[in-house]
Structure formats: C-alpha cells, structure tokens
Structure 1
Amino acid sequence: MLPRLGVPGVDALLALWPLLAWAVTLVAVAGVANAVNIIDGFNGLAAATSMLMFAAFGYVAWALGDAFIVQVCLAMIGALAGFFVWNYPRGLIFLGDGGAYLVGFLLAEVAVLLVVRHPQLSPWFCLLVCAYPITETLFSIYRRWRHACHPGMPDRLHLHSLICRRVLRGASRTPETKIRRNSATSPYLWGLTGVAVLPAVLAWRQPWAMVLGVAGFVAVYVALYCAIVRMRTPSWLRRRLA
C-alpha cells in the first residue's frame, strides 16, 4: 500500500489509518488502469506512451539499484514494443480493454512499488510520469460533470479525438485516409507525454521540481485543449494530410 503521497498532513493520516492508505492505493491503481484504457483510442497511442512511462520508471529504478523493478519495466517495454510493430501505423492488432487495463495495472503497480521500496523517492515523481493519462481522465470527469453527464459516459471530446478532427486537416473519406489520420494523431500525444516524462527523469531527486512539473503539465494540457476547442490551434501544430 502507499505509505505516503508527499502531501503534508495527508501523509500523517495515511500513517495513522492503514485502512485509508489501502483505500487510496486501490483508487490510485484502479484510476491509472482506467486512464490507460481511456487513451487507447488511436493506433500506437497507449503502447508508445506506456513504453515512455515504463522507461522513466525503469531508469529511476536502475539509479536506485532496484533490479526487480528494472526487470519488470524492461519486460513490459519489450512486450509493448512487439505489440507496437503490429499496431502502428495500420492497426493490425489492438490492445482492447483487457490489454489496456493490464498495462495500466502494471504501470500503477510499478509506481506503487517504487514509492514503497524507496522512501527517498517523492510520490510526485510517479504522478508526473503518468501525468498525461491521469490528467486526461480527471479532465474528462470534470468536463462531463460540467455538462451534467455521467462521468462514465463515452464521448468524442478527448484531447486525442479533438486533435484527430481539428488539428489534422484533409479528407478522410476512404479507409486508407482514415488509417493515415488515425496514425498521424498519436505522435502529438507522444510529444505531450514527453513534456511530463522528460522533466521527471531529469529532476527526479528534487520533490519541489516534481510538484512544479505536475502543475506545469496540467497548465499545458488545459491550454492546448482550450486552444483546439476554440479553433486557435498554433499553426506549427496543424498538419494537412494529402
């Protein structure tokens, strides 16, 4: 279970009430598993972003001398890389709910193990590494609440859906052009994932940098989402497909 969250006061409560710590851990693991399933909407999206996150966890585990977690991360990167070859760009196979939930569950468990096994590591590092799928999920819940919809109702207003429809220009009337549009969407989100993963890897020893990194990523995500919704996407992000 998670012994701490890096939040003053909350950590004291977790130490005082083990049942609360168990409940927080269950919510965190289930939340990350569901978050990875939510971003599994386009060819190569969930697989590549998960590889980036496992790579970040594996690197820090290596720096901390945790061989077990390094092995788990390398195994997951290898499995996802083998899947990625067939999934991107043409979508010959798919993760499906079972695959996405499994990847998300293992990602969450690796994060929990890092926090439990290494007291010197800030939990905010794990939050920053997984910032993209977590932010996507929480923002989706907020968005649906604002529109008086059930949080579990599906929609086409996820960031990856908006990028596909509004940032990528050009016709998508034939199966071939639809596949091209689908595969062209994912690199945008790989880059967004890097906005969180890169600073997490570079400054993982500094808890304050992790907190700032999470706040900065959320700001970037919301700004990008609002710009696309308002049809004000920066020109350097727009791409026309032939």
Structure 2
Amino acid sequence: MSVLAASFLISLVVIFLIVRYGHIHGRFTADSDIAGVQKFHSTPVPRIGGLGIFLGLSVAFFIRYFQSAEVGSFGLWLLVCCLPAFIFGFAEDLTKCVGVKVRLLATITSAVLAGYLLSGWLTSVQLLGIDNLILAYPFVAVAITCFAVAGVSNAFNIIDGYNGLSSMVAVIISGGIAYVAFQVGDTPVMIAAIALIGALAGFLVWNFPRGLIFLGDGGAYLIGFWIAELSVLLTARHSEVSKWFPLLLCMYPIFETIFTIYRRVILKRVHPGMPDGSHLHQLIYRRIVRLSDDAEDIKGKVYRNSMTSPYLWLLCLLAAIPAVLFWRSHIILKVFCLIFAVTYIWIYWAIVRYQTPKYFIYRNDD
C-alpha cells in the first residue's frame, strides 16, 4: 500500500470516529468559544483533527518501513522530531492553557531534534554577509534553522482560520516540495511530502466545506513543522535547490505572519501575540464574501466560512507556481518574493479602504 493511500485512509477513518463520537469527548476537545475575535464558526466543533493526520503519517511510514527501510525510517524519525511541537499544540487543544511561548519553544525543540537526528541545518540562505557568518560561526546556522522552522510552524497556526484554508495551503506547498524532491531524486523527502498530502486529504473530507472538525494547534504546528523541516532538508541535501525556493513556496503564510507583526507592533502598538480580527482572511470573510441578510443563519455562515478559503488558495498559488518553475534560480525567486509582498499589501489595503474590484466580490443572494 502506498503512503498516499495509507495516510489518507487512516486519517479519514480516525477523523470520522472523532466526529462521530464528538458527543462523548466534546467537553474536552470541542472549540466551544464561538464569540472570540478570531472565531467564525456557529457551533462547538472538535479541534483535534491533528490527531488523525499524525496517526495517518505514523501508520503510513510504519507500513513503508517494511517496503523500504530507508524511506520508512526517515519518516518515522521525522515523526519523532515533530513530537514536541505536536504534543504541546495538542495539549493546548485539550486544556486551552498552553501559551504561545511554550508552543514556540516546543517547536524549536523539534527543530533541534531534526537538526541532530536528520542533519537538518541550514548552511546557507544566499544572502551576502549572513552566509559568511554561518560559515564562520556554526551556531548561527543552528539559530537561523530554529528560527525558520518555528516561524513557519507558527505561520500555519496563524492562517488556520477557515474551513480548508491552512490544510489546502499545506497540500499546495507539499505538492511543490514533492515535485522538486522528485526532480533531484530525493525519494525520502518526496514520499514524506506525499504522505502529508494523503493525511490532509483525509482531514479535508470532514473539514471542507462543512467544518465538522478543525486542525487545532496540534494539527497546525504538525503540518507547519513537517513542511518547514522538509524544506530545510531538501535545500541542505541538494545545493542546486535555491534556498529561496521554500521561502517563495511558503510565502503566503510567512508574509501573513510578518505583516501581522508589523500591523500589531507598528500600527496598533500592541503585543504581537495579541489576537485581532484584521488578518487578510478575516477581511475577505467580512467584506468580500457576502450573503443576503436572510442567508445569515447557521448553514449560511458555514457556507460563507468555506467560500473564504478559495481566495487564499489562489493567493498561495501566486507564490507556489513561480517557486516550482524557477526552483534553481535564487535571483528570479527573490524577484517573485518581492512581487508577492507588493501584491499582498495592495490587496489588503484595497479591502481595508473598500476599494476592492467588483470582480473579486462573491455574492450569494439566495
């Protein structure tokens, strides 16, 4: 059985069981806060979808180990490395009292484990001056790697706001990683990316469009770490892969995080960890996806929630497509990073100022 099929089936079944028996565990696992500034669901929903994804990956690589010890052991070691990030995120889903700093520290621990066990260290970032520091002081490589992995993991948690948003973005990015890994002949990384796609597909069956289950912090940190670490390993193992390939590939969640910090610290002068309702996906939900007044019932809100995500999938593709096409050229990739940043800011301010082009606005008057 392929890792794609195995991870999909296990994730599908596990999450079905979580949804089916939600009435039993709901008081521990459901996101019952539907009035928060970042809450856009109408009823309590289980937020432990990450468990299905984790088990899907685990079973898929356990089976794969007996087919190919090299690929199977790679995946199993990567799962061991992701445990701190996943466990502390999952603990937040259950207890609602694990702080952001603790979760970031756990993700950094996962990055250190991957660096030690899988030699996953960034040895270059293709920036003059910083590369010289990395060569002169190895601890700089460790610090940059931990910062990058923790940052990407947190970025996926930040964009996890609507049905299918973070998970489909992860599918798009994993597809890009799998393609380039295939081009350079890195089978373990390619299979690990494909396994994540399968597990996410099993999750999406129940999450999009009906929103029967959420990723939760455990799931968001898991997929963020998985993607970040595969990106580090791919560029560390193959010098022909530009270090800017994964940066452009993950540009949407990364830039969303950077812009969020700028917006909160510089514009609002509040703590960067303070939640608000001004993320791009939240603005699209409120101002772009519009329903008639009589459609704003529970079913209408779920529909509106789900129709928000495709806008961001397209935005993610604006970065992912050139990343896949020009994965060797750091100069071209840098230019597209700049183009994406400008495009994102233009879209954001157009929505804020009610200057969004009419063809962007989705209306449903039924």
Superposed pair shares fold, TM > 0.5: yes
Query: Match of 1:165?
Result: 286
What residue in structure 2 maps to residue 122 of structure 1? 242
1:105 aligns with 2:225: yes
Deviates more, 1:46-55 or 1:171-180: 171-180
Deviation (angstroms), 1:101: 0.5
TM-superposed deviation, 1:93: 1.2
**Correspondence 1:19-98 to 2 at 5 A:** 19-98=139-218
Matched, 1:156 2:277: yes
**1:25, distance to aligned residue in structure 2 (A):** 0.6
Query: Matches of 1:224 and 1:41 in 2, distance apart?
Result: 18
Q: Which residue of 1 aligns with 2:318?
A: 195
Q: Equivalent residue for 1:241?
A: 364
Instruction: Find the counterpart in structure 1 of residue 96 from structure 2.
Output: none
| Higher RCO, 1 vs 2 (CA within 8 Å, ≥6 residues apart) | 1
Partners in 2 of 1:104 and 1:28 — Cα distance?
11
Gaps of 5+ in 2: 1-120
Q: CA RMSD in A?
A: 0.8
Q: Distance in 2 between matches of 1:18 and 1:216?
A: 32
| Residue identity opposite 2:220 in structure 1 | A
Give deviations 1:90-142, integer Å, cap 9, x for gaps: 11111000000000000100110011101111111110000000000000000
Q: Look up the equivalent residue of 2:308 and give its one-letter code.
A: T
Q: TM-score, normalization: structure 1?
A: 0.98
Share of identical aligned residues, percent? 50
- Contact 1:169-1:241 at 8 Å conserved across structures: yes
Higher radius of gyration, 1 or 2: 2
State the shift of 1:241 in Å: 2.0
The farther-off stretch of 32-41 and 199-208 is 199-208
- The residue number in structure 1 matching 2:24 is none
Return the offset for 1:39.
0.5
Asked if the contact 1:131/1:214 (under 8 Å) is kept, the reply is yes
TM-score, length basis structure 2: 0.65
**Which deviates more from structure 2 when the two are superposed, residues 207-216 or residues 188-197?**
207-216
- Give CA deviations for 1:148-182 in whole Å, capped at 9, x if unaligned: 11000111100000000011122363101100110
Contact 1:181–1:241 under 8 Å retained in 2: no
Gaps of 5+ in 1: none
Letter in 2 for 1:27: F
Secondary structure at 1:169's aligned position in 2?
A: strand
SS class of match (2:124)? coil
Alignment correspondent of 1:3? 123
Equivalent position amino acid for 2:273 in 1: G
Q: CA deviation at 1:12?
A: 0.9
SS in 2 for 1:8: coil
